[in-house]
């Protein structure tokens, strides 16, 4: 992971959510505020996994 994307105490993303229709899952686009890099997700589960991985993948209380 590059220094810009390494887990740290602060990360900034713009998250856009939309739902093409009621029959389709929510979609998401995430943009890294500093670099402008974008990622696209077909469902919220993948978005949450991405954010979890970007923040070090640890829950409170994990050692």
What integer is the mean pLDDT of 33-56?
96
| pLDDT attached to residue 1 | 47
Flag whether pLDDT at 48 surpasses 90. Answer: yes
- The answer to whether residue 62 sits within a structural domain is no
- The answer to whether residue 40 sits within a structural domain is yes
What is the number of structural domains in the chain?
1
- The answer to whether residue 1 sits within a structural domain is no
Q: Cα–Cα distances in Å, from 29 out to 49, 58, 59?
A: 14, 23, 24
Could you read off the pLDDT of 1-32 as tens digits, one per residue?
455 555 578 999 999 999 999 999 999 999 99
- The answer to whether residue 29 sits within a structural domain is yes
What domain range includes position 18? Answer: 13-54
């Amino acid at each position: 992971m590059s220094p810009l994307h390494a887990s740290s105490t602060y990360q900034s993303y713009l998250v856009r959510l939309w739902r093409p229709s009621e029959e389709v899952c929510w979609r998401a686009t995430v943009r890294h505020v500093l670099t402008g890099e974008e990622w696209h997700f077909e469902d919220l589960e993948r978005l949450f996994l991405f954010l979890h991985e970007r923040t070090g993948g640890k829950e409170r209380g994990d050692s």
